[in-house]
Amino acid sequence: MVVELSGSVDMFKYVQELFEQAAMTALNAVPKTAFSKALGWGAEVRGITPIHRAAINVFARIYSINEHEVERKLNTYDTLNEFFTRRLRAGARITAEGDDIVTSPADGILTQIGTAEQTNLLQAKGLTYDLAALLGSDQDAQWFQDGSYVTIYLRPHDYHRVHSPVTGVVQQVRWIPGDRFPVVPMAVHRRENLYSRNERLVVILDTRMGRVAVIMVASIGVGNMSLTWDDHFRTGDRNHHVDSGRLQHLEGYRLTKGDELGVFHLGSTVIVLFEQARVAFQRMAPGARLFVGLPLAEVR
């Protein structure tokens, strides 16, 4: 009986492996930038409100969206993008108080938590990526060498707004164009240097615990990302007039812990970096469900 069960498990793993290989091959063949652009256009196009609302209703039912925590009734959103970037009602998320408490910047699934090995961060078992490549700067990477980090995956049905995990002043904003590979678990476990290859938006804060970096990583279907304190800036196809690299006109803004920082126009991944030995994480493991404002770490 044990032998049969073991054989069944091995066969399941083999079939799953074949399926994931085929899925990755198909995803690699998809023109991801063009697909994301088309999906982004379709999610925002006006004049087809009944179609958008029907899609929103189906999506909300499939994923059991909690309508009681959403700022508006679902039948008042005119486009899919309005729904995906929905705000929550006042009080739906409570930010943990205390200057020594770091809070979760997003709703999502904790995928990695730990300490960098010099400048290497863990993406998935057997796969690492480099801090300098992630941040787009060798100098910035030195600040976070051997530092702590956490990675949070925002699923498509999660709340898509990112909040500041600490109080601080925006020291740097860097937009780094890149690919739009999927960031679903299957891809994270198979695609090398995924987070440092995809388009991303890096925000570095000066805080009482040193520098803290919040990195928003784009994905297939995520046509652009935006920052809350600038109504005109959006990454990707909306900003051909903005050069990539450091965006000094967006710096100097003060964020209080819990303030909205940015928005994903569809879901993706947030990575938060801390300087060496500055924080002690709460007891939690990959797979944990996180919500904006819940305690994530304490200042040492």
Q: Are 193 and 133 in contact (CB under 8 A)?
A: yes
| Residue length of the chain | 300
6 is catalytic: no
Q: What are phi and psi of 176, to 5 degrees?
A: -120, 100
249 is catalytic: no
Catalytic residue among 36, 52, 104, 107: 107
Cα distance between the two ends of the chain: 52
> CA-to-CA distance for 265 and 216, rounded, in angstroms?
11
The residue among 114, 97, 99, 60 whose CA lies nearest residue 294 is: 97
Catalytic residue among 163, 164, 196, 226: 163
Q: What are phi and psi of 242, to 5 degrees?
A: -105, 125
Which three-class secondary structure state does DSSP give residue 18?
helix
Q: What is the largest CA-CA distance in the chain?
A: 67
Which residues contact residue 34 at a Cβ distance below 8 angstroms, ignoring those fewer than 6 apart?
Answer: none
259 is catalytic: no
Q: Are 168 and 207 in contact (CB under 8 A)?
A: yes
The DSSP symbol for 94 reads -
> CA-to-CA distance for 199 and 14, rounded, in angstroms?
33
Structure tokens that stand for 33 in this block: 């930038």
> CA-to-CA distance for 236 and 218, rounded, in angstroms?
9
Catalytic positions, written as ranges:
107, 163, 268
